[in-house]
Structures are given as C-alpha cells and as structure tokens.
Amino acid sequence: MESSPAKAESPPESRHKDVGEILFTAEQIRARVDELGKQISLEYAGKRPVLVGVLKGVLPFLADLMRQITLDAEIGLMAVHRPHGYGHPDVKITRDVQLDIEGRHVIVVEDIVDMGQTLNKILEHLRGKKPASLEVCTLLDKPARRVVEVPVKYVGFQVPDKFVIGYGLDYRERFRNLPYIGTMKSEPEL
C-alpha cells in the first residue's frame, strides 16, 4: 500500500525559512514505517534478513524501520559517491557492507529512489555476493525521474518530481534533522 502526499500546515517561517510544502508529517511517516515493518516481518517470518542501509540519508528511516521489524535481523551499511555529481551515471562504492551475505535474505534500505542509477549499481554489486534473495525497501519513490528501471518491493511514499528534504534527506548537508518531509521553497541548483 503506497501513500500519496497529504496537505499539511507549513512549518513556522522563523524556524525553517527554506521549507515550502510539507508532504509527509512526522506522524504520517511513523505510521507508514510501522506498516512497512509489519509487512517485512510477515513476509520474512522464519528467516533472519539482513537490512543494508545506504548512508547517510537512510539513517533515520533505517533506525525506525528496524525497530518495527519483529524478526532477528542484522544491519549492514554501505556508502556511495558520485565523483562527477548528481545525475552522472558514474557511481563509486566507498563503503562496502561488512557482513557476509552469501545465502542470506538481503533487503537494501534506501531513503529515496529517483533516477535509479545508484540503486542499480548497489544491486549489481550485492548480487555478486550471492545472496539467497535481494529486495529493496525505500522510504520515498520518485518514478518520474527514473532513468534506470530498478525493482523496488517496499515503498513508503511516492513523491512528485520536486526536490525533497527532511527525515534524513538533505540539501548540502542541511535539513536532515527535520522530523517531516517537505519541499524547498525554490528548486535548488544541483
């Protein structure tokens, strides 16, 4: 079950002057993460999945999601870098998952899937480690930006083709700590 943006009140101008519309409130995020955790727990019953989070925007989502999963799950972390900037297909893995995932059920946990290039590189890399299964759980899906089709099994919310911030998502390392997900008043230069 995917959810779509709900209209919510704007944040106080004095606190976050660069935030425009709030797409998902902290309460909406909490409820959806709870649903995703329950769904994963049911579908992986009797298994010990490995959640692989992609740093660093995923941290709030990963922390909240793993608390909602009622299974004995392991956590791994990866990091990637785009040396030529956003939108360029060159993606480098700068931190590999430290767990042996061969024969394991792996769920890649992302903050957002938009163009699909980064996720595609991660999935190719992890497939080489021979997991028993490999699925994707993303908090946000932005299909309008997709350049490379990637399989995403668990989706928190679909978002419009706008730059989004908050709940781990940043613009130049700012706004990650916002408890909600919103847009910027003006589209930033990437």
Closest Cα to residue 132, out of 167, 106, 109, 150? 106
- What Cα–Cα distance (Å) separates residue 177 from each residue in 15, 26, 73, 77? 12, 11, 26, 20
What is the value of pTM for the model shown?
0.88
Distance CA 32, CA 3 (A): 8
Looking at residue 13, its pLDDT comes to 32
Percent of the chain at pLDDT > 90 equals 79
pLDDT tens digits for 106-142?
999 999 999 999 999 999 999 999 999 999 999 999 9
- What is the tens place of the pLDDT at every residue in 142-186? 999 999 999 999 999 999 999 999 999 999 999 999 999 999 888
* pLDDT band per the 50, 70, 90 thresholds, residue 17: confident
Please give the average per-residue pLDDT across 4-33, as a whole number.
Answer: 75
The better pLDDT of the pair 3, 78 is held by 78
Assess whether the previous peptide bond of 56 is cis (omega < 30° from 0).
yes
Domain boundaries, the chain: 19-184
- Looking at the annotation, which residues are catalytic? 114
pLDDT over threshold 70, residue 63:
yes
1 pLDDT more than 70: no
Sign of CA dihedral 187, 3, 73, 115: negative
Helix, strand, or coil (residue 127): helix
pLDDT of residue 85: 61
The reply to whether CATH 3.30.565.10 applies to domain 19-184 is no
Task: Decide: 108 and 81 in contact? Cβ < 8 Å.
Answer: no
